[in-house]
Amino acid sequence: DARSAVLSGHSFGVHTLWASAGATFDVDTIRPLCTPRISCTEADLAEFGRGFADPRFAAVIPMAGAIDRSWFGASGHRSVRVPVLSMSGTLDPVGADAQFDSTSGVDVTWIDVRGGCHQFFALGRCPMIDDALQGPIVGTYALAFARRHLLGDADPTVRAILDGTRAVHERVTLRHHPAAP
């Protein structure tokens, strides 16, 4: 059923994910980026202004990346109405902490994996964490999140994983802030 899905994005894919989730672009912030090398017309900028929200996405999972304020400005995240499960690793300084701190009003759950590098959420081979932990950590959170927000699963175990009352692994720190009322 392609009418409803969970979207995940890794690294630069996180920018597409935020746009698809409904984050609005800050056209005034983008305009100065238009140069002879990076051509953009007024029609292009108007397209950015309309946004790229895709109503098929019931929830999103940005991994190893953060919202880019040079595209979305200080408040572009406020138009996101779907739950977000952000995943990052402590050895990958991509700004996930700043993303969490600056997205109040959006339903964001953030897991930070101690020893996780940029590729922990993709190809693996991080020097400070065993690849064998990818499935048990990344897979467990992603599956619980999708079950909850795509399938409406109210199972107590799913809820406990997502609210942090059931620890998935000692390497995970979980934080959450709710959507604005």
pLDDT at 81: 97
pLDDT at 1: 81
Q: How far is CA 44 from CA 27, 30, 39, 49, 175, in A?
A: 10, 11, 9, 9, 37
pLDDT at 2: 87
Write 140-149 long-range contacts (CB < 8 A, 24+).
Answer: 140/168, 141/85, 141/87, 141/111, 141/168, 141/172, 142/6, 142/8, 142/61, 142/85, 142/87, 145/6, 145/59, 145/61, 145/83, 145/85, 145/109, 146/6, 146/59, 149/6, 149/58, 149/59, 149/82, 149/83
CA-based nearest residue to 29, from 90, 70, 83, 78: 70
Q: Which residues contact 154 (CB under 8 A, 6 or more apart)?
A: 148
pLDDT at 15: 95
pLDDT tens digits, the chain, 181 residues: what are they? 889 999 999 999 999 999 999 999 999 999 998 988 988 999 999 999 999 999 999 999 999 999 999 999 999 999 999 999 999 999 999 999 999 999 999 999 999 999 999 999 999 999 999 999 999 999 999 999 999 999 999 999 999 999 999 999 999 999 999 999 9
CB 62 within 8 A of CB 17: yes
Q: How far is CA 113 from CA 81, 126, 127, in A?
A: 26, 12, 13
pLDDT at 120: 98
pTM of the model: 0.96
Q: Which residues contact 60 (CB under 8 A, 6 or more apart)?
A: 6, 7, 8, 9, 17, 18, 20, 21, 82, 83, 84, 85
